[in-house]
Amino acid sequence: MKDRGLSLMSNTDPHHIVPAGVERLVREWVTRRIKWTHISHGREVPPQENTPLMDLWYNAGSRSYKGHQSAVPELSERAYMDLLHESAPWEQYGDGNEWNLFSAILEADTAQSLENRYSLSEMVDRWNACVDASFAKEEELTDILSQTKEYLGPAGIRAIKRLSRRFRYSLMAEAAKDRFDPYDLVKASQISAMLHYHLENTTL
C-alpha cells in the first residue's frame, strides 16, 4: 500500500483516504447491505429513483450514458467531472467492449449476501488482486495473476489503473446528501473504519 503513495488517516476519522475504486465499491456495498437488511426485517424499501444523479452515479463511462452537468445542479463542476471520468464505474475498450466495476468485484446483489459475514474483506481482497494483476509486469505474472488479468480484459485493466491512481475521502458529501439518509451515513462511517483497518493491514 505504501508503494502506491497511500497515506491513511486515523481510524477514528470516518473520512479515510482510499483509492477511488475502493470508495465506489464501499458505497455500493453499504447501499446493498442496508437494502437487504431492511428487507430481511420486513421494512419496505422504495425502488431507486431514476434521477439524473443516479444515472451519472451508475452509468458514467458507459456508452449508454448521455447525461450532462446541467441535469445535476446539486453537484459542483469538479464533483461532476470526477464522477463522469475519474470515478466512473464503467470502462470502454474497442468496439462494444465494456467493463463494470460493481459487476466484476462485488458479490451478487441478493438476500444471500447477508449470510456472508466476510463479504467486505473479500471484496477488498478481490480489488487488491485486480490491482496486483493490472500493474504486474510480464515477468511478475504468476498463474493466478495471469488468470485475473485475463478475467479483467483490456477494459478492466484500464479501469482498475484509473480507479487506483486517484485518492479521495471515502465519503463524498456532495453526492451523499442525495444518496443516503442519516442512518446510512452512520453505517458508512462504521464501514469506513473497518475498511481502514483492513487496508492498513494489507499490502498491494
Over the stretch 103-139, which tens digit does the pLDDT of each residue have?
Answer: 999 999 999 999 998 898 899 999 999 999 999 999 9
204 found inside a domain: no
Count Cβ atoms within 10 A of the Cβ of residue 160 and give its class: 0-12 exposed, 13-18 middle, 19 or more buried. Answer: buried
Tell me what percent of the residues of the chain surpass a pLDDT of 70: 73
Averaged pLDDT score across all residues of the chain: 78
102 found inside a domain: yes
pLDDT value, residue 194 = 46
Give CA torsion, residues 133, 137, 143, 144, to 10 deg: -20
Segments forming the whole domain that contains residue 33: 2-199
138 found inside a domain: yes
Angle formed at CA 74 by CA 69 and CA 76, multiple of 5 degrees:
65
66 found inside a domain: yes
In this structure, what C-alpha cell is assigned to residue 189?
462511517
**Residue 1 pLDDT > 60:** no
Number of domains the chain contains: 1
pLDDT grade, residue 10 (50/70/90)? very low
Q: Between 111 and 195, name the one with better pLDDT.
A: 111
Question: Quick check: helix, strand or coil at residue 93?
Answer: strand
Question: Quick check: helix, strand or coil at residue 202?
Answer: coil
Question: Quick check: helix, strand or coil at residue 8?
Answer: coil
Please state which of the ranges 52-66, 77-91, 158-172 shows the lowest mean pLDDT: 158-172
71 found inside a domain: yes
**What is the distance between the alpha carbons of residues 192 and 190, in angstroms, rounded to a whole number?**
5
CB 198 within 8 A of CB 124: yes
70 found inside a domain: yes
